[in-house]
Amino acid sequence: MAGQPTFEAREQVTGSDLGNLPAWDLTDLYPAPESAELTADIALLETEARDFAARYQGKLADLTAPEMLACIEAYQRIDITAGRIMSYVGLRYYQNTLDPARAKQMGDLQGRITDITTPLVFFSLEFNRIPDQTYEAVFAAADGPARYKPVFDRMRAMRPHQLSDELEQFLHDTSVVGAAAWNRLFDETTAALEFDVEGETLGLEATLNLLTDHDRGRREAAARALAAVFGRNVKLFARIHNTLAKEKAIEDKWRKMPTPQYGRHLANHVEPEVVEALKNAVTAAYPRLSHRYYALKAKWLGLDRLQVWDRNAPLPTASDRVVAWDEARATVLDAYAGFSPRLADLARPFFDKGWIDAAVTPGKAPGAFAHPTVTTVHPYVMLNYLGKPRDVMTLAHELGHGVHQRLAAGQGELLASTPLTLAETASVFGEMLTFRALLARTTDPAQKKALLAGKVEDMINTVVRQIAFYDFECKLHAARAEGELTPDDINALWMSVQAESLGPIFEFMPGYETFWTYVPHFVHSPFYVYAYAFGDGLVNALYAAYEGGLPDFQAKYFDLLAAGGSKHHKDLLAPFGLDASDPKFWDKGLAMIEGFIDELEALEA
């Protein structure tokens, strides 16, 4: 796009008070969008997919153990090539979703890769028809694919929900004009939204950021600008949610999924009752956590009632200084090194080698993420860094993901992917390390209180708010099963969970009922959000074990991260003496949040 910086090579984008913000160097994936290497990989993928199907289709049940190992390794190589291609064009697109050339390349290649990989649809379907006795024998053999068994155990758990080969191929072929197309519409719509805040035109990320501004009038102006724009676009967002929920319901019906959430639980390798125990523990704790904390916050702000623009407001005593990029980097790396020099060493290349894209730029996707790309390259982290203390915590969070992805890469492409139940472990642990390091070096009581309050708010946002989000999704999908939902219907569902989770101290402005519209997880990854609460509760319990002096904690922690998706959460947590299926497990994590609120109350005395 004219006037926009290009990001093919690493460069620095300078913010007003932030210092030099890094941009991605994507050349570790491909030299350029029209490079010979990218063209060659597309051709290679086509050849490998066709050859794989010719060699193995109709023969999986007859393979010897060594032949099955060779088959799986060939499949993994194809997975890496496809992943590398789509990672590259996807990351370029998220840097500037308004650039027609980037959008076209991603759309074209999504369609091309879908066509190329259609011959591979047989693999999981035929694999799941291998008789149990044959499957167990092949995977038990010393010269076979034993190490890959966790991947295929999870695949075979889908057997009751598998459709005919023709239907599975049809779903594969139509995926680019189904959920993927609606996802893209959502992304491009949110990226293009503009908000008039007191005469200044801002994008979504910058407007949301104002909700943490010290100036209450500025926060209110931002909240009302968000409400106005969301209100004007609510019909489109309602259409997107209606369509995706209905599409999911149709596929779930054909697959005989017992609930809308069941597929997510299956993919996460977590039992539905474990998630239900988490949800019940958190909702029961609303009065002890969010209701209690926000009542304290109202008192600190000198207000009888809180408005939605006060929810993430800084305390009056909190510093409003901008944290420059170099300071944010030093803060996080020092905190990581305090836990283990190895952790800091794993994080450092993200800063030094162009693995982070930090600046807020026109067209850039909002939010933050760490994308693992493929195990033969390395992850990339995206931020929208504006120098707020929360941005420093976001950096710590996403670097935790990046470190986790680097360690898990040793498992290989098929085993590296961590189930969502454990995917937030390193990220939330990285935040906790950073917070504890900052708290330890803060001596001023007012700043200590502000820091502690900020951490409580982050934990409430991670646990209470995400479980409220999950509750909203559950209600939305249940209601959609009864028929089309109007924007007012969805608004009412949103407000029911907001009032319950935030508590009676809040007064909700007209327009807040539309704030569900911008949450990307509802669109991209239905029912993903409980993973944040799962991760926070799990990390709180882990951190308690660390503080309690559990022997060899660091070594056990690195082993947990390096396991990727090779083990069940029960096996990974056993060395720490923890069990997520124990209903009391979640109370340990919630008790840590309560303890922080106790400390805040004590500071009042």
Note the pLDDT of residue 15: 52
Q: Is residue 142 one of the residues assigned to a domain?
A: yes
Is 477:260 a contact under the CB 8 Å cutoff? yes
Q: Is residue 104 one of the residues assigned to a domain?
A: yes
Note the pLDDT of residue 172: 83
Note the helical H segments in 175-215: 179-192, 204-209
- Rounded (10°) CA dihedral 135, 140, 146, 149: 40
Note the pLDDT of residue 16: 59
Note the pLDDT of residue 497: 96
Q: Is residue 88 one of the residues assigned to a domain?
A: yes
Phi, psi of 34 (to 5 degrees): -110, 20
Domains identified in the chain, total number: 1
Phi, psi of 202 (to 5 degrees): -130, 160
Q: Is residue 590 one of the residues assigned to a domain?
A: no
CATH number at residue 61: 1.20.140.70
- Domain interval for residue 112: 18-177
Does pTM top 0.95 for this prediction? no
Q: Is residue 161 one of the residues assigned to a domain?
A: yes
Q: Is residue 126 one of the residues assigned to a domain?
A: yes
Q: Is residue 69 one of the residues assigned to a domain?
A: yes
Q: Is residue 540 one of the residues assigned to a domain?
A: no
Note the pLDDT of residue 289: 96
Q: How high is the mean pLDDT in each 10-residue block of the chain (605 residues)?
A: 30 63 97 97 97 97 97 97 98 94 95 93 92 96 95 89 86 86 94 95 93 94 98 98 96 95 88 91 95 96 96 84 93 97 98 97 92 97 92 95 97 91 90 91 85 91 95 98 98 96 96 97 92 88 91 97 91 91 84 92 77
Question: Across the strands, what pairs with 306?
Answer: 506
Structure tokens at 232: 């004007």
Closest CA to 472 of 427, 428, 502: 502
Note the pLDDT of residue 5: 29
